[in-house]
Structure 1
Amino acid sequence: MKRKDAAAVAPTPGMLTVIAALTLSLLLTGCGAVAQASLKSVGIAMRGKPDIAMDADSIAASRFAQIKVTGAEGGAILVLGNIDGQRQAWYSSDQNIVFLQHGLVVATHGGPVELRGMSIHGKNPFADLRGVAPGTTVKRRYDVMPGYRYGMTVSGTLQPLGHERLSILGKTRTLLHVQESLQGSDWSAANHYWVDPGNGLIWKSVQAIAPDTSLEIIQLKPFASDLGK
């Protein structure tokens, strides 16, 4: 990703107005646990606050697609506020944003560490990890702040680890676990993806956004199109 491309992931004023609209909508229509968590706790994964409880019934009743993002010091519920092509922007009420494409973190906004941009050079296997071959390599480029760490080149090696049972909001699913080992430019980390064998959705992942920073992402209420609906 060129530097000008990395800068393009920064939220525009129009994009940030989505946060205000989502917050107002939650105030007007949501009085349950999800609304309270969204208004009070979204973004805490990057603010170092305690974790939050999730209520399956409230999440199911909400009209917003939602994910939970957890950092080293806490978790937060984010809501889907914008779609640009294949890239989704998941918002918190305090203007933190996580950008996903095929379930892959391609940028973040807000927090002590920001992934200004991530690009994959060559074939991108993340559109569907269900049939990924062992040893598949992925060439990445990261632009990270602070420190103006632009142009970090990283190689990822994918390895399917078999199927595992994973419970999300009380529902157990059998998912394909794929590990990605990252090496290069001071990086030595591992990403993990739990993939739905039916539709390819990444229900849960642990993804590095910097050499020393990772986020756990769980789909609580996926966007309908991601479920094949």
Structure 2
Amino acid sequence: MRELAAVVLMAIGLSGCGVVGRTSVKTLQLAMQGKPDVQLTAADVAANRYPQIKVNGPKGGAVLVLGSLDGDRQGWYSNDRSIVFLEDGLLVRTHGGTPELQDMRIDGDNPFHDLHRIQAPITVQRQYDIMPGYRFGVPVSGTLENLGIENIEILDKNRALLHVRERLKGPNWNRDNHYWVDPANGFIWKSVQAIAPDVSLEIVQLKPYSPDLKR
């Protein structure tokens, strides 16, 4: 695993006392505050050269920066060390907060590599490990359906994205996940994904990790 958060801070700390250096420091601090009302402009995001996502949950929103890479798994960190782990844009784990998704795994074929290719509805089988309550191995079935192209605004830019809905069914579980993906390569720009039967997180890519856009 390559830990990037310390490198981010060190690089900005060494960037000098000029306007660019001060702007980068200010942007990184804002991006890692995790305040419920945190809002970034396109200029704020552009001033920080590191990948950033916005996560909205039941207690408000925060902007997280890419802090670790482990194979296909990305760890996105807030300043209070809360972490969201993504694989191909799929939410697979969280750290910090309640409830906490300790693990989510796909049984069998994983259609999330190619969401833009979905035509007819398909079914995916998941297992969730959730705390508190030691809810391990919770089986959940999801049905993915292509809802067509929608215009989604991200940082004042409109994107024509394919909307894929996933209806989840499981023990005490009846929620929908939503994914807005690039129709050309399947990259997930925005999503709403459940971490428990009654809690979902909204994830928006503000400045993606550049290799993800070259699939």
- TM-score, scaled to structure 2: 0.90
- The structure in which a higher percent of residues are strand is 2
Matched, 1:209 2:209: no
1:108 corresponds to which residue? Answer: 94
Measured after TM superposition, the shift of residue 165 of structure 1 is: 0.4
1:119 corresponds to which residue? Answer: 105
2:148–2:163 Cα contact (<8 Å) kept: yes
Change (3 A) 1:154 1:127: same
Measured after TM superposition, the shift of residue 93 of structure 1 is: 1.4
Is the partner of 1:57 in helix, strand or coil?
helix
Measured after TM superposition, the shift of residue 20 of structure 1 is: 4.8
2:123–2:141 Cα contact (<8 Å) kept: yes
Q: Distance in 2 between matches of 1:224 and 1:60?
A: 14
1:68 corresponds to which residue? Answer: 54
Measured after TM superposition, the shift of residue 57 of structure 1 is: 1.2
Measured after TM superposition, the shift of residue 22 of structure 1 is: 3.9
Q: Distance in 2 between matches of 1:188 and 1:169?
A: 31
Equivalent of 1:173 in 159, 172, 192: 159
1:156–1:181 Cα contact (<8 Å) kept: yes
Change (3 A) 1:58 1:28: farther
Is the partner of 2:139 in helix, strand or coil?
strand
1:54 corresponds to which residue? Answer: 40
Q: How does 1:1-229 map to 2 (within 5 A)?
A: 18-23=4-9, 25=11, 29=15, 31-32=22-23, 34-39=27-32, 41-42=33-34, 44=35, 50-228=36-214
Identity %: 54
Figure out how many residues of one structure are paired with residues of the other and give that number.
208
Q: Cα RMSD (Å) of the superposition? A: 1.9
Is the partner of 1:130 in helix, strand or coil?
helix
Q: Distance in 2 between matches of 1:63 and 1:227?
A: 16
Change (3 A) 1:56 1:68: same
- TM-score, scaled to structure 1: 0.85
Q: Which amino acid aligns with 1:186?
A: N
Q: Which amino acid aligns with 1:209?
A: I
